[in-house]
Amino acid sequence: MASTDGAFTYLQARLNDLGLQALDKGKVYTVEIIFAKSYKIDANTTIHNGWFNTHTVSDALAKVKNSAARLSWTGKNGIKIEGKVRYNYSQFR
């Protein structure tokens, strides 16, 4: 089940489990993706704080959504990827 897309390899198992739970309940869960520093977003891109100097969070979300739409996974119909959040651990101090 794991994809070769870095953007989705990490998320796929988690979203799949959540999507399957949603489908079991006849629901679709809306999720927001949290982009932390040092997150591998696809085979060629690792997000880090400097990455956002030349890219937007919307760019990162588009990469994740493209992988999610293109790949097959069993919980897919139970998940709607809607938003995105960028955070840094220092924001929680």
Q: Which pTM does this prediction carry?
A: 0.72
56-67 confidence digits (pLDDT tens)? 778 888 888 888
Q: What pLDDT score does 88 carry? A: 60
- Please choose, from the candidates 80, 62, 86, the residue with its C-alpha nearest in 3D space to the C-alpha of residue 18: 80
Q: Is 71 exposed, middle or buried (0-12, 13-18, 19+ CB in 10 A)?
A: middle
Tell whether 1 is covered by a domain: no
| Residue in this structure with the two tokens 């709607």, named with its chain if needed | 80
Contact (Cβ atoms closer than 8 angstroms) between residue 8 and residue 21: no
Range of the domain at 47: 6-92
Q: What pLDDT score does 2 carry? A: 47
Tell whether 43 is covered by a domain: yes
Q: What pLDDT score does 1 carry? A: 44
Q: What pLDDT score does 75 carry? A: 95
Tell whether 88 is covered by a domain: yes
Contact (Cβ atoms closer than 8 angstroms) between residue 45 and residue 63: yes
Q: What pLDDT score does 71 carry? A: 86
- Tell me which residues of the chain have a pLDDT lower than 50: 1-2, 91-93
Name the domain count of the chain.
1
Distance CA 83, CA 61 (A): 8
Tell whether 72 is covered by a domain: yes
DSSP label at 23?
A: H
